[in-house]
Each structure stands twice: as structure tokens, then as C-alpha cells.
Amino acid sequence: MDILSSMRESCPLLVTRVEAQRITGGLVKARTLANLDCLGKGPSVKVKLGRIVAYSKDSFLEWLSERLQEAENV
């Protein structure tokens, strides 16, 4: 998908949950990422500074690409 290519170019090296929500246009909510992390289903590589959680760009985009599907007949 060229959407992911565009995201790869514009994403910072670390993507916070709030930034992930902004980057995806609200398709992925910050709270959803927090819940998925608790279940062990969020992006695999993450760091934490205080209360802020961020994902490596590659880990976040890989996680996102596994979940994106092209819409047909919408």
C-alpha cells in the first residue's frame, strides 16, 4: 500500500500513542493502543518515559500494516 510508504517517510523515529492517532487520522485511538499493549497485542518494540509510551517507527508501521485492509465496495 502506498499509504504505508507515505507514512514511513513522514513518521518520526518514535511514535507516541497520541502521535499514532494523529498519523492514522483517528483510525487507531491512543486508548486502543494502551488496551492492546495490556493484552500483548500492540506494536512489539516500545519505550516508556514517565507515563508516555512510544513505539519504534518500524514496529508501529509493521503492526499497522498487519491490520490494514483495502476497502472494497464501501
| Residue 71: pLDDT over 90 | no
Residues 23, 37: contact at Cβ < 8 Å?
no
What are the tens digits of pLDDT across the range 41-59? 999 999 999 999 999 999 9
What are the tens digits of pLDDT across the range 17-26? 999 999 999 9
72 in any annotated domain: no
73 in any annotated domain: no
8 in any annotated domain: yes
Strand partners, 16: 54
Cell numbers for 71, please give them: 476497502
Cα→Cα distances 9→34, 64, 66, 74, Å? 25, 15, 18, 28
E-state strands within 1-74: 14-16, 46-49, 52-56
- Tell me which amino acid residue 57 is: K
60 in any annotated domain: yes
Q: 60 lies in which domain range? A: 2-67
- Domain total in the chain: 1
